[in-house]
């Protein structure tokens, strides 16, 4: 069951791909939409845009790598596109927001309704943060089963490339990959455990020629080489040199607290206080057992 935006003022706008720079790539998709309805703010011009999609029931591995990719790309100014579905889609949108980036969703039903209803607040946050929610369907129309697959051509069509972080062998996500290939877009895939059903679709795509992502940092640096270095972006929120030092160490992959302290050169009291402030400000995450990561 869908729900509508009931906590913010909603204005449904209308734009044509022929007349809107950001939407212009949709002029070249199958069954080109003559116009689209949207809530929020579309970028005034084309920016590097990547779709991140995947299973609705991701593993902890799928969640972690999706968050890392979406945050890292969004920090470098990449627009993140997905379908506002449960699972990977929602994680990608949320991670882009956490990075203060721009994220856009494409729905399979008419605005201002949000499906699934559990993602209504996420949709509101996206709009409030300068992003947009798009639909090719008339306002207030309900979603039909076939529209979810039809929507996928717009997700890939809006994007310069598509990333699939986790998908089963019969996942609808593979339909997005097929559209991307038809549109001449690059498809990047996160490889997974060959015994995991949730990675069967990803591994099959790699076997068919999709490009594997074997390092989040290397992929981001290669894909967005002219943007501000990731380390410069990461330390923007550091309040002092001690916080900056720990952030950079975490970004290098050091997670164990004892190793972090030794590498930082900070005394125990200063190190503990710095970790506490970074955690309270939402910049790092405590995973228990003295293991830490960037949030």
The domain segmentation of the chain, as residue ranges, is 3-223, 230-294
Torsion sign (Cα): 211, 216, 221, 223: positive
Examine residue 140 and say whether the peptide bond preceding it is cis (omega within 30 degrees of 0). no
187/68 Cα distance (integer angstroms): 18
pLDDT at residue 1 in the model: 40
pLDDT at residue 6 in the model: 52
pLDDT at residue 2 in the model: 45
Kindly report the pTM of this predicted structure.
0.74
pLDDT at residue 207 in the model: 96
CATH of domain 230-294: 1.10.10.10
The CATH number fitting domain 3-223, selected from 3.30.1380.10, 3.40.830.10, 3.40.50.450, 3.30.505.10: 3.40.50.450
Which three-class secondary structure state does DSSP give residue 117?
helix
* Of 48, 182, 146, 33, nearest in space to 104 by CA: 48
Low-confidence ranges of the chain (pLDDT < 50): 1-2, 7-8, 226-230, 232
């Amino acid at each position: 069951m869908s729900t509508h935006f009931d906590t913010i003022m909603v204005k449904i706008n209308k734009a044509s791909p022929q007349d809107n720079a950001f939407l212009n790539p949709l002029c070249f998709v199958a069954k080109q939409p003559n116009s689209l309805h949207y809530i929020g703010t579309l970028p005034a011009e084309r920016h590097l845009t990547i779709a991140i999609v995947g299973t609705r029931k991701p593993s902890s591995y799928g969640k972690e790598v999706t968050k890392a990719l979406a945050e890292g790309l969004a920090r470098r100014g990449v627009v993140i596109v997905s379908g506002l579905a449960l699972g990977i889609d929602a994680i990608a949108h949320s991670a882009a927001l956490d990075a203060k980036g721009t994220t856009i969703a494409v729905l399979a039903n008419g605005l201002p309704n949000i499906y699934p209803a559990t993602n209504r607040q996420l949709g509101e946050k996206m709009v409030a943060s300068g992003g947009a929610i798009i639909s090719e369907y008339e306002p207030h129309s309900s979603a039909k089963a076939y529209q979810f697959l039809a929507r996928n051509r717009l997700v890939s069509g809006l994007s310069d490339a598509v990333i699939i972080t986790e998908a089963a062998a019969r996942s609808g996500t593979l339909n997005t990959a097929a559209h991307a290939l038809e549109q001449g877009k690059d498809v990047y895939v996160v490889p997974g455990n060959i015994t995991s059903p949730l990675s069967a679709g990803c591994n099959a795509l790699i076997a068919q020629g999709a490009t594997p992502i074997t390092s989040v940092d290397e992929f981001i640096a290669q894909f967005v080489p002219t943007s501000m270095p990731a380390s410069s972006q990461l330390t923007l929120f550091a309040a002092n040199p001690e916080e900056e030092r720990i952030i950079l160490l975490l970004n290098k992959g050091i997670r164990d607290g004892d190793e972090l302290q030794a590498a930082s050169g900070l005394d125990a009291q200063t190190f503990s206080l710095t970790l506490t402030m970074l955690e309270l400000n939402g910049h790092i995450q405590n995973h228990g057992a003295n293991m830490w990561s960037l949030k």
